[in-house]
Chain A
Amino acid sequence: MAAITNLFRAVTYRGREGQIAWMLHRIAGVGVFIFLAGHIFDIFLMAFGPEVFDTLLFFYHQFLFKLMIIFGLYLGVLYHALNGIRVVIIDFWPSMNKHQAGLWRVQMVIFALAYIPSAAIMLSRMFDGH
């Protein structure tokens, strides 16, 4: 219950672009980190040879997992990467601070231009039967 109240307060807190940018950055970062833990471990399984590795790879070929890659991992990494670059620009070039909200909007346009076509290609591949 406290979590729901906190979530509501977080969303309705009037931090505008900067707060939304920060919140998404954090959620995406933690999500990618959790994926990365599994990913390092599954590549380590290369040590056990092709039978074991290719058998366990079935996980990556699941329909649901592919959807999670496109709408979770890929989306999260791309957002976190672009927002991270914006943070780097502002930190190393403090006069950009007053433009941070505008920069975020520019960043989201770049995000949409990069994400939508590439996600569409990944999605169409899923239904191509390979």
Chain B
Amino acid sequence: MQATSPARPRPASNFELYSWFFMRISAIVLFILALFHLVYMHLVIGLDAITFEIIAERWQSPGWRLFDLFLLVFGWIHGANGLRIVLDDYIHPQGWKVFVKSILYVVTFVLIVLGAYIIFTFRT
């Protein structure tokens, strides 16, 4: 960092500040939730043991449904926002940028809806 670098102009909106803050907070949440999820599903239960029956049993408990909902929302939004930054870095033509980001937002909407739908409505 150069001592003589000029002050940056104040951004018109605080969106990027909130985005930065959200990434840090969701990182801490996901550090606990996502690592627990991976270790629990792969070391405690084991991939081969996971079936429809096991997940149906898990969703008998509202606590697990809430846990999965948190994973879904925090995990995907953290990922989508991260990818938004990556796309900004590598895609320069304005038209392509808008196009690819639009796909990202549509996929985000669809997956959050599908995931939340099954978590909330699942009945055996």
A17 to chain B, nearest CB (A): 17
In whole Å, how far is A52's beta carbon from the nearest beta carbon of chain B?
Answer: 9
Question: Is B48 part of the binding interface, using a Cβ–Cβ cutoff of 8 Å?
Answer: yes
Selected from B34, B76, B118, the residue in CB contact (under 8 A) with A77 is B34
Give the interface of A toward B (CB within 8 A). Answer: 26, 29-30, 32-33, 36-37, 40-41, 43-44, 46-47, 49-50, 53-54, 57, 60-61, 66, 69, 73-74, 77-78, 81, 84-85, 87-88, 91-92, 118, 121-122, 125, 130
The 8 A-B residue pairs with the shortest CB-CB distance in the complex, in nearest-first order: A50-B52, A33-B79, A44-B114, A84-B27, A53-B52, A40-B115, A40-B111, A44-B118
Question: What would be 29 A-B contacts, judged by CB atoms less than 8 Å apart?
Answer: A29-B82, A29-B86, A33-B79, A36-B79, A37-B107, A43-B68, A44-B115, A46-B55, A46-B56, A47-B121, A50-B56, A54-B51, A57-B50, A61-B47, A73-B38, A77-B38, A78-B35, A81-B27, A81-B30, A81-B34, A85-B27, A85-B28, A87-B27, A88-B28, A91-B24, A118-B39, A118-B43, A121-B43, A125-B46
Residues of B within 8 A of A (CB): 24, 27-28, 30-31, 34-35, 38-39, 42-43, 46-53, 55-56, 68, 72, 75-76, 79-80, 82-83, 86, 107, 111, 114-115, 117-118, 121-122
